[in-house]
Amino acid sequence: MEPITTLNPVWNRFLGNMGSAWSLLNDMGTFADKKDEEETTRLLTSAADIFGTDLDEIKRDMAAMELPDFDSEIDLTPELVERMNRDFAELRSLDVQENYAEWLKKNPQHIIPLYNIIKDVKTGPAARGKILRRGALITMFSFYELLIADLIKTHYAINPKALPRPEEQKISLADLRGINPDGLEEIEKYFIAKEADNVLRDNSRKQLQYFKDKLKVQVSISDYLKDAFWELSQRRNLIVHNDGIVDELYLSSVDKSYIRTLGLEKGMRLNVTPEYILHAYDTLLELGGTITQLCWRRWLKSDTEKADRSLSESIFTLLEKGRYTPVKNLAKFAAEIKLSSPSDLIILVNRAIAERETQDSKGLEKSLRKIAGFPSSMERDIALSLLDGDQEKAYELLIVAKEEGKIQRFSFRWPLFIPVQNEPRFISLFEKTDESA
């Protein structure tokens, strides 16, 4: 087995998987919601034509039903289900059925169009966006679990003697015969994979506890992140096992203030809104990044420079996507561990950018003071000028950088330049560089 010297492959796989999910949501999410809206309008228009009713009148009737929007946190309530059942019971009454049959006799040309509407609603409801986001949540959580499995496997590949004994893993001789191992290395891989699988069968809280007890990694995270992650894991379970319908287990597991804020009750069905899926992305990236960095520095102390660079690059990736909350939180985490000086400054600048973009004036003020404490350099001085709102000074410094052939060190797409990205004089400075937008 090749000796493991870095966690880069483990982290890059998770980051790549999550990035693919992000791209899919960006490319398809809005499109899916638009198609759902178009499909709903088409069906309503067809119904209006068949029954000789004004489309606006149908829309008003639909609005009066107070159905949840696609971006409503609560998708369904017991009260709504009861009301809809009553309404449908009326439609199935003998009088209505007789009137309906009589109407079809008088209007046979509407039989097939009406049948097509009913068939479309039953077999292909306008729920593309909802299904896509549900699937994305499940997929992203699976990517997180894959990261946990990869970290566990990596730990035991580095420290095979720490692997639990076969009797602790409940592995039989028949199990070993089943894998038909070629040698000791294959047996060792099987034991490691079995241990990772056993851990993933526990709930998310026990998995984090496993890192402390067995892998000697204390995962210290904020109460906010802990509660957000636990709710996310419980919502994922609800969707997979109970169609998103709130049950007693969810109500007893999730933070009570969250339950009160949403007014959640047993029987309500939770939706995965566009806002929620972004929240899930932020939560999993922040938690996954924190755990990976802690393991990296605990298990591979000689590889901390790569760990620093990986953390800095990950923060920048989140900043480019406009995910400012995990940027600030991961940068705060970075400040609590020892980083190399270049990475320390870059992460601090990117944190300040996120604070500027979220109007976090107090946080920005503190970050600016820390940045000013670094030795003067072209990069530091330009960043300070733009973060402090001194665009004239920033422009003058960039002119000097261009004259000295150093402007290539900067990308105009860097969110640092957001306040000036539409200004012609700044645009002209970057026009002939490879990094221009």
User: Is 115:50 a contact under the CB 8 Å cutoff?
Assistant: no
User: Is 55:44 a contact under the CB 8 Å cutoff?
Assistant: yes
User: Is 153:193 a contact under the CB 8 Å cutoff?
Assistant: yes
The pLDDT assigned to 209 comes to 92
User: Is 233:203 a contact under the CB 8 Å cutoff?
Assistant: yes
Distance CA 292, CA 294 (A): 5
Residues constituting the chain: 437
- Mean pLDDT throughout 398-411? 91
Distance CA 110, CA 430 (A): 63
pTM of the model: 0.81
The pLDDT assigned to 198 comes to 87
Quick check: helix, strand or coil at residue 83? Answer: helix
Lowest mean pLDDT among 170-179, 315-324, 331-340, 355-364: 170-179
The pLDDT assigned to 43 comes to 66
The pLDDT assigned to 251 comes to 93
Residue 256 CB partners (closer than 8 Å, separation 6+): none
Beta bridge partner(s), residue 76: 269
Average pLDDT in the chain: 83
- Mean pLDDT throughout 84-96? 62
% of the chain exceeding 90 in pLDDT: 50
Q: Is the pLDDT of residue 176 over 60?
A: no
Lowest mean pLDDT among 29-43, 113-127, 143-157, 254-268: 113-127
> DSSP per residue over 107-135, as a string?
-GGGHHHHHHHHHHHHHS-S-HHHHHHHH
Sign of the CA dihedral 343, 345, 350, 355?
positive
For 92, the token pair is: 């199935």
Q: Is the pLDDT of residue 106 over 80?
A: no
Q: Is the pLDDT of residue 127 over 80?
A: no
Sign of the CA dihedral 202, 283, 319, 25?
positive
pLDDT band at 436 (very low <50, low <70, confident <90, very high): very low
Domain boundaries, the chain: 1-32+73-88+127-299
The pLDDT assigned to 120 comes to 58
Long-range contact pairs involving 426-431 (C-beta distance under 8 Å, separation at least 24)? 426/395, 426/398, 429/395, 429/398, 429/399, 429/402
Distance CA 308, CA 347 (A): 10
- Mean pLDDT throughout 5-31? 86
The pLDDT assigned to 431 comes to 82
Compare 292 and 79 and report the one with higher pLDDT.
Answer: 292
Distance CA 312, CA 306 (A): 10
For 39-68, the pLDDT digits (tens) are 677 766 777 777 677 767 666 665 555 555
The pLDDT assigned to 414 comes to 95
For 266-284, the pLDDT digits (tens) are 998 898 888 899 999 999 9
The pLDDT assigned to 8 comes to 94
For 331-387, the pLDDT digits (tens) are 999 999 878 767 899 999 999 999 999 999 999 999 999 999 999 999 999 999 999
Residue 3 DSSP class: P
Compare 194 and 306 and report the one with higher pLDDT.
Answer: 306
Q: Is the pLDDT of residue 123 over 90?
A: no
The pLDDT assigned to 86 comes to 62
Distance CA 146, CA 128 (A): 26
The pLDDT assigned to 382 comes to 96
The pLDDT assigned to 183 comes to 62
> DSSP per residue over 156-198, as a string?
HHH-GGGSPPHHHHT--HHHHHHH--SSHHHHHHHHHHHHHHH
Distance CA 198, CA 246 (A): 27
